[in-house]
Amino acid sequence: MTAQIRITRRNQLIAFITLCTVYIFLPLLFINTPYVVFIMTQMLFFTIFAYSFNFLFGFTRQLFLCIGAFAGIGAYITGILLRESIVGVVESVILSTLTVGFIGWFVSYLSVRRRLVVIFTGIFTLAITLAFNNLVIGLVDITGGETGFRVRLVSLGLLDSLPLYVRFYYLAAATLLTTAFISFYLLSYTKIGYAFRCIIDDEVSSGLIGIDVAKIKMITAVLASGLLGYAGALYGLFSQLITPSYYGFLSLDIPVQLIVILGGRATLLGPFIGSAIISILNEALKFLGPLTQVLYGLILVLLLAFFRNGIVDFVKRRIVPWFF
Amino acid sequence: MNIIECTGISVFFGGLPALRKVNLGVEKGEIRAIIGPNGAGKTTLFNVINGVVKPSEGKILFEGRNITGKPPHVICRMGISRTLQIPRVFKDLTVVDNVMAGALFSGRLKGDMLEKYVNDVLEMVGIADKATVKGGQLNIQERKKVELARALASKPCLLLVDEYMSGLNPMEIEDAIDLFKRIRKEYNLTIIWVEHVISAVSSLADQVTVLNQGEKIAEGKPEEIVVDDKVVEAYLGERVVKHT
C-alpha cells in the first residue's frame, strides 16, 4: 500500500520535473521567431488563469464566472497606477494581487455564508463580470473606455537582457511552475490534499468528519483570486495594452473553462494539457476568424456532454494510474 | 452526569414545527434508541445535535459545554460522530481512505496511531476485506459499514446512528446487535440510535425515547415502551374497543 503510494509519488515527481525542463528550454528553440514565443507566453498566462479557475471550480466547486474580470481588475489597477506614475511596478502588482484577493475572499464569503449553491455563485459572479465590463467602458476618463490605454514597457531587472517576449515568457513560466509545484506539494504531501479529495467527493460528509469546508473554500478563493490579480497585472504589462476586450467573458473566461474541462477538473496537469491543445488549435484555426468563437462554444458543449472528466481522468483510468 | 442534555429543542421549517420543546438527556455509556413513526422528527433531532440544522429554540449541552448552533465540523472535533440514514461515503476514495479521512480530520488521534486505529476499526466493523475497494463500488449495506467505521475512526465519545438496521435480514440484525454491543465496550461509547426495527431496539437499547409529530410522547425501558398506550396509538391508531 505505502510502496504503491511511493511509486506513484516518484512517477509524479518525474513527470513534474520533465514538465519544468520542457517549459524552461522550449522557448530557446524559437528564440529567433518571436511570434511563437509570444503565443507560448500567452498560453502560459492562460494556463495560470486556468489554474485559478481549476482551484475555484475543480477543487472547491465554486463556479467563478468572473476570471476575466478578476484578471482585468488586476491589469487595470497596475496599468493606471503606472500610467499616472503613482507608484512603482512592484507596488502596483502587489496592490493588484491584494485587491483581487480581497474581492475573491468577499465573493467566496458571501457564497459560503449565504449558502449559495454552485449555480447561484455562477450567476452572482457573472453579474460581477457584467458590472466590470460596463464600468470599464463607462469610465472613459480613467480606463480609456472601449479602446483602453497603452502601458509603457517596464523593466524586469535581470531578465532585461533577454529578447522582449522571452522575458515575459520566463516571468509567466516562473509563476506557473511555482504555483503548480506548491499545489503539487500541498496536495500530495499534506492533509490539505486529502481534504480537497473529500470536498470534491462529498461536501456534506466532509463537514461530518470534521473538515472545515467553509474555511478551505474561502482560503482557496483568496489564493486563487490573488493569483488572478497578479497574473492579470503581468498579462497587462506583457500586452502593453489594456482593453476590456482582452479581459472579456468571451476572450478569457470561455477559453479558461475550455482548458480546465478539456484537461481535467481538479487535476494538476489538466490545465497544462488543456492550454497546450487549445493554443495549437487556436493557431491552426486562425483562418476561421470570428468563427473560432462559435467553434469554442461547440467544443465546450460537446465536452460537457460527452467528455466531462477531461483528458487527465481518461489517461488515469485507461493508461497510467499515477497520472495527476 | 448526562453526556448530552438537550432542553426545549424546537425546530420550525417555514412555520411548520418539526420538533416542539423536546428534552433529551442521555447518560454516559448508555445506548439510547429513538423511535417514532415517519416524520416524527427523529432525523431532525440528529441534525440539530450535530449542527446540520440550527434549532429555533432550545439549548444543547455536550459534556457540560454549550454546542447549540455550532457547525458540524466543530461538533465532530468535539467528539460527536454521526452516520446518515442514506449513507454518503466518499465514492472516489477507497474504503481505507474513507475511514482514514475520518481519523485524520477529527484531530482526536495522534499521527503515529492513525494507521493502526483505522485498521482496528475496519476489522471491528467487518469491512477489512474490502479495504482497497472504492466507496462508489460498494452496496448499500457495505456503505453503511464504511460510514460507521468512518464515524468510529474519528474517535467519538458520542455516536449518533441513523437507521442502521433497516433492510437487514434477521441474521444480519443479530450480527449488527452484536457489533454495537462490542463497539460500545471497545470504544467506551455512548450511542444514540434512531431505529425502526423494534426487535433490535428491545434487545440492544437501555432506554427508549419515542417521538411523534415532533413531540416526545414517551421515554423509558424498552419493555415499558412497547405497552405504552400513547406509543401504540402513535404507531397503530387509537384503540376502538377497550380491553377489559
On chain A, the residues whose CB falls within 8 A of the CB of B149 are none
What distance in Å separates the CA atoms of residue A151 and residue A260, rounded to the nearest whole number?
30
Task: Summarize the confidence of residues A271-295 as an average pLDDT.
Answer: 89
In this structure, the answer to whether residues B179 and B214 fall within a common structural domain is: yes
Mean pLDDT of A25-53: 93
pTM of the model: 0.90
- How many beta-carbon contacts under 8 Å exist across A and B? 69
Question: Is B63 among the domain residues?
Answer: yes
How many folded domains does chain A comprise?
1
Chain A residues in contact with B85 (beta carbon < 8 A): none
Any domain includes B240: yes
Q: Give the residue on B whose Cα is nearest the Cα of A113.
A: B71
At which of B107, B138, B154 does a domain end? B154
pLDDT of residue A1: 52
Q: What is the pLDDT of residue B244?
A: 54
Average pLDDT over residues B51-70: 93
Report yes or no on A17 lying in a domain. Answer: yes
Query: Is the residue at A154 inside a domain?
Result: yes
Are A200 and B89 in contact (CB < 8 Å)? no
A210 closest CB neighbour out of B90, B96, B105: B105
pLDDT higher than threshold 70 for residue A65: yes
B chain contacts of residue A201, beta-carbon cutoff 8 Å: 90-93
Q: Residues B32-44: pLDDT tens digits?
A: 999 988 888 999 9
Same domain, B164 and B44: yes
Interface of A to B at Cβ within 8 Å reads 1, 191, 194-195, 197-198, 200-202, 204-214
B71 lies in the same domain as B165: yes
- For A276, other C-beta atoms within 10 Å of its C-beta total 15
- Segment B119-132 shows an average pLDDT of 91
Residue A138 has pLDDT above 80, yes or no: yes
Q: How many domains does chain B have?
A: 2
Q: Do B129 and B59 share a structural domain?
A: no
B47 and B164 in a single domain? The answer is: yes
CATH number of A274's domain:
1.10.3470
pLDDT for position B241: 61
Distance separating alpha carbons of residues B33 and B35, to the nearest angstrom: 6
Closest Cα of chain A to B104: distance in Å? 8
B150 and B42, same domain (yes or no): no
Residue of B73, B82, B91 with shortest CB distance to A211: B73
Residue B214 lies inside a defined structural domain of this protein? yes
Residue A45 structural domain: 2-318
Residues 6+ apart with CB under 8 A from A115: none
Residues of chain A in contact with residue B73, where contact means CB-CB under 8 angstroms, are 206-213
The minimum CA-CA distance between B229 and chain A, rounded to whole Å, is 37
The last residue of a domain, from among B106, B122, B154: B154
User: Is the per-residue pLDDT at B111 higher than 80?
Assistant: no
Chain A contact for B71 (CB, 8 A cutoff): yes
Using the predicted structure, report yes or no on whether residue B164 has a pLDDT greater than 80: yes
- Strand B31-35 to strand B16-27: parallel, antiparallel, or no bridges (unpaired)? unpaired
Q: Does B115 touch chain A (CB under 8 A)?
A: no
Nearest to A207 among B72, B102, B150 (CB): B72
The alpha-carbon radius of gyration of chain B (Å, integer) is: 18
Interchain CB distance below 8 Å, B93 and A201? yes
**Which residues lie below 8 Å from residue B2, measured CB to CB, with a gap of 6+?**
B25, B26, B27, B28
Look at residue A323 and tell me if it is in a domain. no
Tens-place pLDDT, residues B198-232: 888 888 999 999 999 999 998 999 888 888 888 88
Question: What tens digit of pLDDT does each residue of A180-192 get?
Answer: 999 999 998 888 9
Q: Does a structural domain hold residue A324?
A: no
User: Which CATH number is B26's domain given?
Assistant: 3.40.50.300
Measured between CA atoms, the residue of chain B closest to residue A191 is: B104
- Residues of chain A neighbouring B134 (CB-CB closer than 8 A): none
pLDDT band at residue A285 under the 50/70/90 scheme? confident
For B96, phi and psi rounded to 5 degrees?
Answer: -65, -35
Partner residues linked to B160 by β-bridges: B82, B192
Q: Note whether residue B43 is domain-resident.
A: yes
Q: Report the alpha-carbon distance of residue B20 to residue B214 in Å, rounded.
A: 5
Whether residue B101 has pLDDT greater than 90:
yes
Are residues B6 and B54 part of one domain? yes
In this complex, is the C-beta atom of B102 within 8 Å of any C-beta atom belonging to chain A?
Answer: yes
Name the pLDDT band for B168 (thresholds 50, 70, 90): confident
User: Residue A197 and residue B77: Cβ atoms within 8 Å?
Assistant: no
> For A249-264, how does the pLDDT look when each residue is reduced to its tens digit (9 = 90+)?
999 999 999 999 999 9
pLDDT score recorded for residue A78 = 96
Evaluate whether residue B84 is within a structural domain.
no
Do B171 and B142 lie in a common domain?
A: no
End-to-end CA distance of chain A: 18
**pLDDT for the residue numbered B49:** 94
- Tell me, yes or no, whether A137 lies in a domain: yes
Instruction: Find the residue in B nearest to A198 (Cα).
Output: B90
Mean pLDDT computed over B1-30: 91
Nearest-CA residue of chain A relative to B111? Answer: A191
Nearest to A209 among B52, B102, B132 (CB): B102
First to last CA, chain B: 42
Residues B148 and B161 in one domain: no
Q: Flag whether residue B136 sits within 8 Å of chain A, measured between CB atoms.
A: no
In this predicted structure, the answer to whether residue A76 has a pLDDT above a threshold of 70 is yes
Residue A233 lies in a domain: yes
Nearest chain B residue to A2, by CA: B115
Q: Is residue B74 a part of any domain in this protein?
A: yes
| Section A134-138 average pLDDT | 95
Question: Look-up: residue for cell 487595470?
Answer: A76
Handedness of CA B231, B234, B235, B236 (dihedral sign): positive
Provide the mean pLDDT of chain A.
Answer: 92
B182 and B128 share one domain: no
In a domain, B51, yes or no: yes
**Same-domain status, B17 and B107:** no
CB A43 within 8 A of CB A168: no
- Residue of chain A with shortest Cα separation from B92: A201
Tens-place pLDDT, residues A97-106: 999 999 999 9
**Residue that finishes a domain, picked among B129, B154, B179:** B154
Nearest one of A57, A118, A84, A32 to A257, comparing CA atoms: A57
Query: How many angstroms away from the CA of B232 is the closest CA of chain A?
Result: 35
The more confidently predicted of residues A159 and B219 is B219
Which ipTM was obtained for this model?
0.87
Tell me the chain A residues in contact with residue B78 when contact means C-beta distances shorter than 8 Å: none
pLDDT of residue A249: 93
Range of the domain at B34: 1-79+156-244
Tell me: do B18 and B132 sit in the same domain: no
Q: Which residue, among A59, A112, A205, A317, would best test binding to B if mutated, counting the most B CBs under 10 Å from its CB? A: A205
| pLDDT for the residue numbered B242 | 59
